[in-house]
Structure 1
Amino acid sequence: MSSMEGSAASKTQARAHEIAARLDRLIATENARREARGEDPITHREIAKLTGDRVSPTTVRGLHKAENGRGAPANPQVSTLDAIGEVFGIRNGAEYFTSDAAAKAVDKQLRALQALAEIRGPQGAPGDAGLSLAFRAAQLSPDGYRLVNDLAERLLAHELAARQEPDNSAERDG
């Protein structure tokens, strides 16, 4: 094998591992959302089904493991990456899987959505409470938003201070 062939093979392998890592992040994000709702984790078979069977479970598994069925680095078609991206709500999945800039932007959005999903609702469980607040805030005027934001800052400061106060209830009871 010439040095050029070796270099091309190592680039293909590096790309396959990057695609696998990005797919792993998407799966982990989806599974965190599902766990919060008491649902089963997503499977390679389910991902394939959600592509409308444009991608096989074996292909999804291979991309997740960074290799094809013959042990060589995975080298998927653009249509395959687009189909898998769509499953996770990403338009132009090929760009997400192959462009560092696109992946960085999408991952930032996913972290923001995860933070919203972790906001506790009235019963103390994560769910749609954060999204509900965000949708309401988006409908406020700039003055209304500032008012709600100021109130949230004051409430947070009050709760943080209350958490830091020592519990003197035993001294009062005694």
Structure 2
Amino acid sequence: MKLIKYCLILALFSPLAARAQQPAAPAAQAPIVLRPGDMQVQARSAANRPDRAPVYPGGEQALGLFFLEHIKYPEAARVKQLSGMVVVTATVNVDGSVSNPQVTQSLSPECDAEARRVVSLLTGWQPAMRRSRPLAVLIQLPVPFGTAGHMTVDQARRQPQR
């Protein structure tokens, strides 16, 4: 009778013992690293993430020309021979206008004021799009002063030199 009890207990608990001896499930998968060429559209991205970024008409070259035509180099900065970039953040609205320009990287108070003035003149943007609807987004623009906007290209290497 005792032998039957032991066999019965062994039969009941043997599947549990076999499962306990199996190797553990693999640990969490290695993190996914996104590289510029490997990125894909997210199936369920955040509600405020655009599918398409805002675009200035004519692209970056036209934006650079706009800055060259409209920036008035402040006299105080010219006397000090200041050169560099003022980084301005602003909102591109759904109608393509720019609002709320704020300096995030300063060069001088005079250059900062001029950068805010010129960025507020930017109009005609193609707004960011989210599911085929325009979306207001925050952009960051470097505004060049002095020789910061000049770049030469070495024809042999065809790469920009600063």
Identify the TM-score tier after normalising by the shorter chain. under 0.3
Structure 2 length normalisation: TM-score?
A: 0.21
TM-score of the pair, normalised by structure 1: 0.20
The structure carrying a bigger helix percent of its residues is 1
Question: Taking CA–CA contacts closer than 8 Å with sequence separation of 6 or more, which of the two structures ends up with the larger relative contact order?
Answer: 2
Question: Which structure has the larger Rg over C-alpha atoms?
Answer: 2
Which one has a larger percent strand, Structure 1 or Structure 2? 2
